[in-house]
Amino acid sequence: MLLNVDEQLTPADHHTHRRYTFTVPPRATRLDIHLRYAPKALPEDESMHLATRALWSQAAALAPCVGQPEADAWAVAQRQRRWSRVRNLLTVSVDDADGVYRGACHRQPHEQHMTIERTEATPGLVPGGLMPGEWRLTLSAHTLASAQCAVEIQIAAETASRRP
């Protein structure tokens, strides 16, 4: 195991980036990256509360431009739309030992498996040689709305066997 992270994030980590370094061994042929976080979505009542609060905040910002009656009418019309639940969103990007950006995975699922090999990689990541040395994974917290968000990251490497 090259990296094993198990931690809790909170709304204070919203819009932050955490960087983790890991050492890729000589003769690495494949990197396996696993990200899991929970919860993905807030409960319906919390989602509705946050969405309603954001809606009325937007209406207040709109009022000086269009007038209070129009802003209120807009907010009421928006409330009649079907709401989805507010979701946490965490993504990863990877830089290699030379500091070269090897891509990012901006995906909605709360559990993701990504790979990098010489000739192929998970979409969003760049295939190529896996030079030994210190690599960096950046965890970006685009949205952290839940009171706590458990995060697990594991990175492992497959290596070519030595020939006698």
Structural domain boundaries in the chain: 3-41+87-159, 44-79
Residue 162: the pLDDT is: 62
Cβ pair 12, 135 in contact under 8 A: no
- Residue range 83-94: average pLDDT? 91
* pLDDT the model gives residue 164: 55
Class of 3-41+87-159 in CATH: mainly beta
Is 60 exceeded by the pLDDT of residue 158? yes
pLDDT band at 48 (very low <50, low <70, confident <90, very high): confident
Averaged pLDDT, 19-27: 97
Which tokens in the block code for residue 159?
Answer: 């290596």
In terms of Cα–Cα distance, which of 130, 145, 125, 144 is closest to 27?
A: 130
